[in-house]
Amino acid sequence: MPTLRSVTSFCASRGLRAVVLLVAAVVLAGCPGLSDPASPNTGLTGTNPNATATFSGFISLAGGGGNAPADGATDVLIQATITTPSGAPVANGVVVNFSTSRGTVRVNGSDPATAGSSTPVVTFEGRAVVALRSTSSGSADVTAWIADVARTVNVDFDYVPIEGTIDVVIRNPAGDVPTLTTTAPADALIVAKVSDGTSPLGGMTVRFKIERDTTGGTSEGAAYWGAPPKTKTGSTGEAFNTLFVKGAGEVVAFARLHDPVTDDLVATSGPITIITTHVQAEASMTLTFGDTSTTANGTVGAPTELIATVTSQRTASALVGVPVRFSIRSDTTDTGAFDPASLVTPGDSLTDTLGEAINAIIAHDSGAVIVITAEARDPNTGEVIARSNQVVYTVS
């Protein structure tokens, strides 16, 4: 059996995304016992000793014993030298099979898209070369074999810490914005966007954080996240959470990007701000009869519809779920001799999806002149947020 010979290996700087040639030679005799080698590649032309059960020559490998970055772009070249029993190079075209326990191998100089866990290579001047690369860290065992003769070398791939950026926005129908002003209570969809500067990064760890919350001292309570603040980005590089703000004030939040393997902090986003006010700061209210007029004539005992409409001064949109209370401000029949008019709903009525609260007025005696108004209240604090105009109802 030949003697074991070794040559000290070296590795190119791990920061270079170039081909790294690791040189280390191991010369051994045949290696019986290689478990279940791949089938011979009969699609290649040339001499194919894999088609037989045995091979009488020798295999030596160069390229193992060093380290390379697991960046998915750096190649480590593994060279097999094949000789006859007399030590001469085998003829051109002998098929050598290569496989790796980590990463991918391919014929040196071929398209990386063709790489896989194994590949056949034909010799030229007694040599066959593959390129090895990996996106995961750890040890890779690269084996070359012909029939019952095999050799294995080891390459260690070092973990490459991620480099990325993170941005955080508030997503709403109008688009992604860094600042949102709205009424309380409110909820906002917060989106963290992670990339390597050019492409989205999926599978990254994101932590959402509230930096400042001036609503915490109010009776409504502090702002809070709807989901756990630690999450992962999807294939689009985005991670999502919902920020709930119950009271009026200002909430500032941001997000941090952490390495998914080491949990080291990689980047911190800029802030997003949500400013909330109670409804009273922005509400307006109108009161009309059912026919949209502000004066109406009615008959004794017949209800006449009243409609109070509450809208946002900022957006002119309807405010839903706002308590509205109708009041009779004056009634000329409200004397000891005559029964006063009454409202069908004496308590609060809530505004619907149109921002409307409905009631009705009933006069119990003729000759009445009745003045009605309405007030809207904050659903959280009960404070008056808007007062309506007056409407006049007469009964003949």
pLDDT tens string 153-211: 999 999 999 899 999 999 988 889 999 988 778 889 999 999 998 999 999 999 999 99
More confident residue, 9 or 95: 95
Residue 4: DSSP 8-state: P
Cβ-based neighbours of 337, under 8 Å, separated by 6 or more: none
Residue type for position 314: R
- Please state whether beta strands 391-395 and 384-387 pair in parallel, antiparallel, or not at all (unpaired): unpaired
Span of 32-36, 112-116, 284-288 with lowest mean pLDDT: 32-36
More confident residue, 105 or 4: 105
The owner of tokens 């699609």 is 43
Residue 214: DSSP 8-state: G
d(CA 376, CA 396): 31
Span of 28-37, 84-93, 216-225, 384-393 with lowest mean pLDDT: 28-37
More confident residue, 280 or 128: 128
CA distances from 251 to 118, 210, 270, 337 (A): 55, 7, 14, 59
**ω into residue 340 within 30 of 0, thus cis?**
no
The encoded tokens of residue 130 equal 């593959």
Torsion of CA 396, 308, 323, 327, to 10 degrees: -30
Confidence of residue 25 (pLDDT cuts 50, 70, 90): very low
More confident residue, 333 or 97: 97
d(CA 307, CA 75): 76
Indicate the SS3 state at residue 66: coil
Q: Contact, 135 vs 70, CB < 8 A?
A: yes
The encoded tokens of residue 129 equal 């070369």
> Which run of H or of E encompasses 242?
strand 238-245
Confidence of residue 43 (pLDDT cuts 50, 70, 90): very low
Residue type for position 16: L
pLDDT reported for residue 220 = 67
What average pLDDT score do residues 279-287 get? Answer: 79
**281-395 has which CATH code?**
2.60.40.10
**Fold category of 165-277 in CATH:** Immunoglobulin-like (2.60.40)
pLDDT reported for residue 281 = 59
Confidence of residue 117 (pLDDT cuts 50, 70, 90): very high
Asked whether the whole model's pTM tops 0.75, one would answer no
More confident residue, 18 or 87: 87
pLDDT reported for residue 47 = 61
Confidence of residue 34 (pLDDT cuts 50, 70, 90): very low
Mean pLDDT, rounded, of the chain: 84
The encoded tokens of residue 286 equal 């109108």
E strands of 7-117, at which residues?
A: 20-21, 26-28, 58-62, 67-69, 76-83, 95-100, 104-107
What average pLDDT score do residues 86-106 get? Answer: 95
What average pLDDT score do residues 307-317 get? Answer: 88
b/e map of 150-164 (b: 16 or more CB within 10 Å)?
A: bbbbebbbeebebeb
d(CA 267, CA 282): 38
Q: In the chain, which residues fall in CATH 2.60.40.10? A: 20-158, 165-277, 281-395
Span of 63-77, 261-275, 277-291, 294-308 with lowest mean pLDDT: 277-291
pLDDT reported for residue 32 = 30
pLDDT reported for residue 15 = 34
Q: For the chain, what percent of residues have pLDDT higher than 70?
A: 85
Confidence of residue 139 (pLDDT cuts 50, 70, 90): very high
b/e map of 216-242 (b: 16 or more CB within 10 Å)?
A: eebebebbebeeeeebebeeebbbbbe
User: Is the per-residue pLDDT at 282 higher than 90?
Assistant: no
Entry field: residues in the chain: 396
Q: Contact, 78 vs 63, CB < 8 A?
A: yes
User: Is the per-residue pLDDT at 79 higher than 80?
Assistant: yes
Q: What's the CATH class of domain 20-158?
A: mainly beta
